[in-house]
């Protein structure tokens, strides 16, 4: 009997398999979808997401690109303006800095500047690294920087099922979408529904219900938040874990509901603390719920220094389940 049969005939896919399935379903459905990127057709195939697809759908629709991010992003925008749906895949978000003018001044603004006459159905996909000496130029989480840009949507899934559903929604959207992954997520294997389905932007999800503290987590920090919450439960501390799934827009209603119940908040982000998504969310909570908060908000995020390459320094630099555990403990000090 297969592993799936043992688990009630549920279908388990890896994170990579789920995203590849989403891409392939869209390719079969829409002949106007184009995939492009550096190394998209090589043996690594964007962490396996595009493995073998060019052999099925041809290099007219799925093609490798040169190391020219500014020019190629302009080409991707032009394709989107011409009626194609474009998935432009980058190995690393760091490379998007080279295309900031195209993304911010062109992709994000054309619809507004044309009075809605021009749409830019462009998905820019990239993977953040961690834990392998990726250092200062191959590991950056740029969602805090990009969150300020009007006209952009930012998606950061955590589970294989959500990655599949959110990628479908992103590829259906008429606006430019940054689809930002975390390298730590690709090792997961979970139940993924068959067929085509979408998950709406701006709708977070409760990964764990609790009563004492709300932990609002982004991307891979959700995994750490759940691990920390299991340890805390053994000590009698009940934590509620929210997976935002998208950071622009983010689910304000869910945050209000949860924080109104727990009155204590930890926000766990994968990027630097200054100017971060975590700071934006904390400002929102302070503005809306200041009177009911029992403690100041704790933020778990990266220190404001470039990412180190040495493993021993990475262990200090990156936040993890321990960081969240101790943040929750600080909030609960007066209850112990």
pLDDT (tens digit per residue) in 183-194: 999 989 999 999
Q: What is the pLDDT of residues 22-59, one digit of tens each?
A: 999 999 999 999 999 998 998 888 989 999 999 999 99
End residue of a domain, out of 136, 164, 191: 191
d(CA 220, CA 143) in angstroms, rounded, equals: 14
Structural tokens at position 141? 């989480």
196 domain-assigned = no
d(CA 190, CA 266) in angstroms, rounded, equals: 26
My answer on whether 212 and 187 are in the same domain is no
At residue 4 the predicted structure's pLDDT band, cuts being 50, 70 and 90, is very low
224 three-state secondary structure: helix
At residue 335 the predicted structure's pLDDT band, cuts being 50, 70 and 90, is low
Could you tell me the CATH number of the domain that includes residue 280?
A: 3.40.50.920
Could you tell me the CATH number of the domain that includes residue 27?
A: 3.40.50.970
My answer on whether 131 and 234 are in the same domain is no
pLDDT at 328 over 80: yes
Contacts (Cβ under 8 Å, ≥6 apart) of 4? 10, 11, 12
Q: Answer yes or no: are the C-beta atoms of 86 and 80 closer than 8 Å.
A: yes
Number of domains in the chain: 2
My answer on whether 184 and 218 are in the same domain is no
Structural domain boundaries enclosing 148: 3-191
My answer on whether 160 and 251 are in the same domain is no
Q: Answer yes or no: are the C-beta atoms of 127 and 91 closer than 8 Å.
A: yes
132 domain-assigned = yes
pTM of the model: 0.94
Catalytic residue numbers read 138
Asked if residue 249 has a cis previous peptide bond (ω within 30° of 0), the answer is: yes
318 domain-assigned = yes
């Amino acid at each position: 009997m297969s592993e799936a049969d043992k688990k009630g005939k549920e279908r388990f896919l890896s994170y990579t398999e789920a995203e590849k399935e989403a891409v392939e379903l869209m390719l079969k459905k829409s002949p106007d979808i184009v995939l492009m990127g550096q190394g998209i057709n090589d043996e690594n195939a964007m962490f396996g997401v595009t493995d073998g697809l060019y052999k099925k759908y041809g290099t007219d629709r799925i093609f490798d690109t040169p190391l020219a991010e500014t020019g190629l992003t302009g080409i991707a925008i032009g394709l989107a303006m011409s009626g194609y749906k474009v998935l432009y895949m980058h190995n690393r978000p760091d490379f998007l800095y080279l295309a900031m003018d195209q993304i911010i001044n062109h992709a994000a603004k054309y619809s507004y500047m044309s009075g809605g006459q021009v749409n830019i159905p462009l998905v820019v996909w990239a993977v953040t690294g961690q834990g392998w000496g990726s250092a200062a130029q191959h590991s950056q989480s740029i969602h805090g920087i990009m969150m300020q840009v009007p006209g952009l949507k930012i998606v950061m899934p955590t589970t294989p099922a959500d990655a599949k559903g959110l990628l479908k929604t992103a590829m259906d959207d008429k606006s430019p979408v940054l689809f930002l992954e975390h390298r730590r997520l690709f090792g997961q294997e979970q139940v993924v529904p068959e067929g085509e389905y979408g998950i709406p932007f701006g709708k977070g999800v409760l990964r764990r219900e609790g009563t004492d503290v709300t932990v609002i987590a982004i991307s891979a920090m959700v995994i750490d938040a759940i691990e920390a919450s299991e340890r805390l439960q053994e000590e009698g501390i009940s934590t509620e874990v929210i997976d935002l799934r998208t950071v622009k827009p983010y689910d304000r209603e869910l945050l209000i509901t949860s924080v109104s119940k727990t009155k204590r908040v930890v926000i766990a982000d994968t990027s630097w603390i200054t100017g971060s998504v975590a700071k934006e969310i904390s400002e929102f909570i302070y503005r809306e719920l200041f009177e009911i908060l029992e403690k100041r908000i704790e933020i778990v995020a990266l220190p404001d220094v470039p990412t180190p390459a040495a493993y021993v320094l990475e262990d200090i630099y990156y936040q993890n389940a321990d960081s969240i555990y101790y943040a929750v403990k600080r909030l609960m000090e007066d209850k112990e």
